Amino acid sequence: MSTLTSRAPGTVGMTARYALMSTRNVYRNVRFLVLTVALPLLLFLLYVNLYKGEDTGNGISVVAYLMVSMASFGCIGAAINTGARIAVERQTGWNRQLRLTALPARGYLVAKAVVSMLVTLPALVLVFIAGATVGDVSLSAAGWLTTGLAVWLGLIPFAVLGLVIGFAGTVDTVQPISMITYLGLSILGGLWFPVEQFPAFLQDVAKVTPSYWLADLGRSVLVGDGVPITAVLVLAAWTVVLGLVGIMAYRRSGTKI
């Protein structure tokens, strides 16, 4: 019986190990990484050309505003698409094989969320670098770090959303589902066009999306206004709700197809 009581230590280490190995596998898929980063980066460079030097009138330059938007846009795509790849592992049956290891289910789920978070980094870092160099966005080192950290941590609900899609969808459906979710949230959340340009009813819709509050969080920290409580609460609420849905989807995925 001591075999069973001695199993508590090591779970965290094993989860970390699995997260790193899986992240390495995703990072090896260069095509996937390029596709994740390319669109937000190219759009941002285009915007820099159009709006460089202009001001929003809200204490933030248009380019800085769009930098946060495009970084969020890219990161959301990376987080959702990475999670959605779980459907492929499920389809091939690799997922079942993993259940025959000492890695517990919650370790697996946490590790997969960590992978999604780590895969968002290239989009975040590259758009910020483009902002600092081509876009002339000037921030202190601490300013860059806190803004980056704010956006990154704000991605947690999106990482969980990716898992939900990965467990709820099938190989055939995850692609369209994640694409619609990714673009839908980006547009509705005002990452492509400022929410102020939306018709009134859509503005209300926008303020329910996690993407709106992700960008709000990032911009607020960027201009030095600190962490907005509303954004944190909305993002936390999304994380909790999606987490519960995710656990349900995970349980259901255990029963055979």
Partner 1 sequence: MTEQKQRRAVDNPPVGINDAVHSPDGAAVRLTGIHKSFGKVQAVRGVDLQISPGEVVAFLGPNGAGKSTTIDVLLGLIRPDSGTASLFGTSPLQAVQAGRVGAMLQGGGLLPEVAVGELISMFAALHRSPMPVAEAMDRAGITDIAKQRTSKLSGGQAQRVRYALALVPDPDLLVLDEPTVAMDVEVRRSFWASMRDFTGSGRTVLFATHYLDEADAFADRVVVLADGTIIADGTGAQIKASVAGRTISAVIPGARPDDLSRLQGVVAVEQEAGRMLLRCNDSDAALRALLQTAPATHDIEITAGNLEDAFLELTAANRQESHR
* Rounded distance between C-alpha atoms, residue 212 and residue 192, angstroms: 11
**CA-wise closest residue to 236 among 155, 121, 166, 167:** 155
Q: Which of 44, 45, 99, 131 binds partner 1 (CB under 8 A)?
A: 99
By CB under 8 A, is residue 25 in contact with partner 1? yes
In the chain, which ranges are E strands?
Answer: none
Does 89 sit near partner 1 (CB under 8 A)?
yes
Distance in angstroms (rounded) separating the CA atoms of residues 37 and 207: 26
Of residues 122, 117, 119, 134, the one with CA closest to residue 44: 134
- Whose tokens are 């369209």? That residue is 176
Nearer Cβ to partner 1 (102/142): 102
Q: Per-residue x/- marks for partner 1, 193-232, CB under 8 A?
A: ----------------------------------------
Radius of gyration of the chain (CA): 19
CA distances from 196 to 62, 192, 201, 205 (A): 14, 12, 11, 12
* Choice between 27 and 192, CB closer to partner 1: 27
Task: Report if residue 93 touches partner 1, rule: CB under 8 A.
Answer: yes
Distance CA(69)–CA(217), nearest Å, equals: 11
Should residue 91 be labelled a site residue for partner 1 when binding is judged by CB under 8 A?
yes
Torsion of CA 244, 249, 251, 256, to 10 degrees: 180
Binding residue for partner 1, selected from 50, 94, 145, 208, defined by CB under 8 A: 94
17 makes contact with partner 1 (CB under 8 A): yes
Residue 98 in contact with partner 1, rule: CB under 8 A: yes
Asked if 29 is part of the footprint of partner 1 (rule: CB under 8 A), the reply reads yes
Q: Is the dihedral of CA 190, 192, 193, 194 positive or negative?
A: positive
Nearest distance, CB of residue 6 and partner 1, angstroms: 7
Q: How far is the CB of 75 from partner 1 (least distance, A)?
A: 23
If the CB atoms of residues 52 and 106 are measured against partner 1, the closer one turns out to be 106
Residue list 100-119, contact with partner 1 (CB under 8 A): 100-104
Residue ranges binding partner 1 (CB under 8 A): 2-4, 6-7, 10, 14, 17-18, 21, 25, 28-29, 88-89, 91-104, 254-256
